[in-house]
């Protein structure tokens, strides 16, 4: 399959991810992201130049974090959990949408044009991978934001800037280990991708 399809699907998936954070924040009362032009599906509003370049060079990257003012959110910490989860959930939902026609083809015994199968399959794979990666409880990933919001009353030592800086260092180390055949992320994905793939194919 042409790399251009993979790049387009990846960038579109990241755009939907970041847009979903902005939309959830807006619906819950915080208009910060909207005022900064992030409540849009325009990829240029969400793609970080360095993070995008890293995707091509290191096969790892990031979008621009969506600004959220927690004080404006309805439902307090629960609202922040919803905003944090909105991004990963959007990737899971995109994977589910990609699985729908694949399930139909399998059930009906239809063999469609091969490029269509490839596009749907890579969409499924990329979005499940983004879901797993972003749900890891490592700052500054969404999984840690969810964890810290739920357990904020117990994290008296929590200093966001310091914790996030340390988390970025951890991510860089874990990525670096993959180049010396200690692929932590590969191990995680190999364990979680199959059951998640089975799940999206099983949802009625």
- The residues that are catalytic are 18
Tokens of 33: 């992201």
* Residue 182 three-state SS: coil
User: Cα(196)–Cα(5) distance, rounded to whole angstroms?
Assistant: 23
User: Cα(21)–Cα(40) distance, rounded to whole angstroms?
Assistant: 11
Residue 47's DSSP bridge partners are: 63
**Measured on CA atoms in the order 122, 124, 130, 132, is the torsion positive or negative?**
negative
Give me the phi and psi of 47, to 5 degrees please: -85, 125
């Amino acid at each position: 399959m042409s790399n251009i399809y993979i790049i387009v699907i990846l960038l579109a998936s990241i755009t939907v991810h970041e847009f979903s954070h902005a939309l959830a924040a807006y619906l819950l009362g915080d208009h910060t992201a909207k005022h900064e032009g992030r409540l849009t599906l325009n990829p240029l509003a969400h793609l970080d130049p360095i993070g995008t370049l890293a995707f091509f060079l290191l096969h790892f990257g990031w979008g621009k974090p969506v600004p959220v003012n927690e004080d404006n959110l309805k439902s307090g910490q629960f609202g922040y959990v919803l905003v944090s989860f909105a991004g990963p959930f959007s990737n899971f939902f995109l994977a589910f949408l990609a699985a729908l026609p694949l399930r139909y083809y399998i059930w009906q015994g239809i063999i469609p044009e091969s490029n269509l199968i490839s596009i749907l399959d890579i969409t499924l794979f990329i979005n499940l991978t983004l879901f797993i990666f972003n749900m890891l409880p490592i700052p500054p990933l969404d999984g840690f934001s969810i964890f810290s919001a739920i357990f904020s009353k117990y994290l008296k030592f929590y200093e966001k800037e310091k914790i996030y800086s340390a988390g970025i260092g951890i991510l860089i180390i874990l990525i670096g280990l993959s180049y010396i055949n200690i692929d932590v992320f590969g191990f995680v994905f190999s364990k979680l991708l199959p059951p998640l793939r089975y799940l999206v194919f099983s949802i009625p």
